[in-house]
Amino acid sequence: MRTLSVAAALLALLLATSASAASGASLDRPSWTVGDYWTYRTNTTLAPGLNLTGTATSTLAGTRSTAAGGSAVNALQVVLSGSGTAGGTVSTTSGNVSVQGSWIVTGEERFEPTNLHVVYSLLDLSVNGTYLGVVPFFIRVQNTTTFQILTDAWQYPLPVGGSGSLAMAYNFTQDAYGIGGTTFHENGTGTWDLGFSLGPSKPVATPAGTFTAYPVVETWPDGSSERSWFAPQVGNDVRTETYDPGGNLTSETVLLAYRYQALEAPTFLGLTLVEWTAAVAGVATAVTAVLLVRRSRRKKGQPHPGGGSPPEVTSGPRDP
C-alpha cells in the first residue's frame, strides 16, 4: 500500500533504526537503558516540492507488554517527539504555489528485545501553514501498525560484510485529514520482505562528533531503501538516508546529541571514579597544606611548653 509506505518512510526518517555494538567482525545488540536518547536534525520530502525540516528525538521510555508472533513480549518502548518548519513550492491545477508553515510529530515504536525488530509503531504528524501567502491549510496523518515476524534471517550478532532478510506480516490503520476538512481512512494487512546488508566501518562526521560507523542498507518491497550508519559509541545510527524506488533522496537525518548510558562511566553518589579520585586528591592536598603551615609556625615562633627559654643542655655532670 502506498499510503503505508509513506508512513513507514516517515517513521524511518524520524525514528532512527536500531543497530548494534561492535565485536570484532560482527555487531552485537546495543544495550539500551531507560533514559537513553538520540536527537537528530531531519529533512523530509512529504510531497513533491514540500519539505519538512527540523529536529526529532527518540527516547527509550521503558518496556511495554506487546503481542508479537502470537505471544506477549516485554517490548522496548521508544517514544518520538519532533517539530520544525514546512516549506517549498508545490504543483497544483492552478500552477505552482508557495507553501510555508510548521509541523509537529509524536509517536512511538516498540522493539522485541532479542533482535530489536519493530513489532508496533504509532505516528501522529500534523502540518499547518499557508499557501499563496494567505490561504491556510492543515494536514494530519495518524498511522498505527502492528507487525508479526514470520522468518528472521537477520539476527545478532550481525556479520560485518554479510547480508540477511526478514519477513513480516503487518496490520495497519491510517487516518488522514486534509484541506477543507476532508478525511481519508484506510486499513489493511499484508507482508513485507526486507533485505539487509552490513558493510565495514568508516568515520562519519556529525554535529555531535565524528564516529566510527558501520553502513547498513535496508531494501523494501517497492524498491525503496534506507542507508544508515550505526556507531557503537552512540548505540544507534548517526546518519540515515531514505531513497524512493527511482533512487531519489526523500529523507535524511543526522545526529545532533545523544545519551547512551551503556558506555558511560559508572557513578557513586553522582560522581564517576575519575571524579571521586580527583575529589579525594584535592582534599588530601588541602589537608597536607594545613599541616605544613602549622608545622612551619611551630618551628618559627612558638614558646617552649614550660614558658621562657628552653633549658640549657650540657654534655654531662660538672666537676665539684
Looking at the fold, whether 256 and 275 belong to one and the same domain comes out as no
Instruction: For residue 13, tell me if it sits in a domain.
Output: yes
Average pLDDT, the chain: 84
Instruction: For residue 132, tell me if it sits in a domain.
Output: yes
Distance CA(250)–CA(10), nearest Å, equals: 10
Instruction: For residue 238, tell me if it sits in a domain.
Output: yes
Instruction: For residue 141, tell me if it sits in a domain.
Output: yes
Looking at the fold, whether 81 and 7 belong to one and the same domain comes out as yes
Q: What is the mean pLDDT of residues 301-308?
A: 48
Q: Whole-model pTM?
A: 0.78
Instruction: For residue 139, tell me if it sits in a domain.
Output: yes
- Local structure of 113: helix, strand or coil: coil
Q: Which range in 17-26, 158-167, 177-186 is most confidently predicted, on average pLDDT?
A: 158-167
Q: How many CB atoms lie within 10 A of CB 146?
A: 19
Least confident segment among 76-90, 162-176, 259-273: 259-273
Instruction: Please list, residue by residue across 152-182, b when 16 or more beta carbons sit within 10 angstroms of its beta carbon and e when fewer do.
Output: bebebebebeeeeebebebebebebeeeeee
Q: What is the DSSP string of 124-148?
A: EEEEEEEETTTEEEEEEEEEEEEEE
**pLDDT level of residue 315 (50, 70, 90 thresholds):** very low
Looking at the fold, whether 217 and 88 belong to one and the same domain comes out as yes
Looking at the fold, whether 194 and 215 belong to one and the same domain comes out as yes
Looking at the fold, whether 66 and 178 belong to one and the same domain comes out as yes
Length of the chain: 320
Looking at the fold, whether 152 and 280 belong to one and the same domain comes out as no
Looking at the fold, whether 159 and 275 belong to one and the same domain comes out as no
Number of domains in the chain: 2
Beta bridge partners of 136: 130
Residue at grid coordinates 617552649? 304
Instruction: For residue 313, tell me if it sits in a domain.
Output: no
3-state helix, strand, coil in the chain (%, to 5): 15, 60, 25
Looking at the fold, whether 71 and 176 belong to one and the same domain comes out as yes
Task: Give whole-number Cα distances, 184 to 60, 165, 174, 181, 318, in Å.
Answer: 32, 33, 8, 10, 122
Residue 88: CB partners within 8 Å, gap ≥ 6? Answer: 49, 50, 51, 98, 99
> What is the number of helices (H) and of strands (E) in the chain?
2, 18
Q: Return the closest-CA partner of residue 97 out of 135, 141, 52.
A: 135
Work out the burial of residue 11: count CB atoms within 10 Å of its CB; fewer than 13 is exposed, 13-18 middle, 19 or more buried. Answer: buried
Is it the case that residue 21 has pLDDT exceeding 70? no
Looking at the fold, whether 181 and 289 belong to one and the same domain comes out as no
Distance CA(53)–CA(252), nearest Å, equals: 10
Looking at the fold, whether 259 and 285 belong to one and the same domain comes out as no
- Amino acid 131: pLDDT: 86
For the chain, percent of residues with pLDDT exceeding 90: 65
**pLDDT level of residue 56 (50, 70, 90 thresholds):** very high
Distance CA(144)–CA(121), nearest Å, equals: 6
Distance CA(97)–CA(30), nearest Å, equals: 46
DSSP state of 15: S
All three cell numbers of 82: 519532533
Q: What is the mean pLDDT of residues 65-83?
A: 92
Task: Please answer whether residues 286 and 236 qualify as being in contact, where contact means their C-beta atoms are separated by less than 8 angstroms.
Answer: no
Least confident segment among 92-96, 138-142, 150-154, 261-265: 92-96
- Amino acid 76: pLDDT: 98
Is it the case that residue 166 has pLDDT exceeding 60? yes
Looking at the fold, whether 43 and 105 belong to one and the same domain comes out as yes
pLDDT tens profile 220-271: 999 999 999 999 999 999 999 999 999 999 999 999 999 999 999 875 555 5
All three cell numbers of 289: 597544606
Beta bridge partners of 207: none
**pLDDT level of residue 34 (50, 70, 90 thresholds):** very high
Work out the burial of residue 257: count CB atoms within 10 Å of its CB; fewer than 13 is exposed, 13-18 middle, 19 or more buried. Answer: middle
Q: What is the mean pLDDT of residues 142-164?
A: 97
Domain boundary among 264, 284, 315: 264
Q: How many CB atoms lie within 10 A of CB 67?
A: 13
Instruction: For residue 249, tell me if it sits in a domain.
Output: yes
| Domain of residue 292, residue span | 271-297
Looking at the fold, whether 186 and 276 belong to one and the same domain comes out as no
Instruction: For residue 318, tell me if it sits in a domain.
Output: no
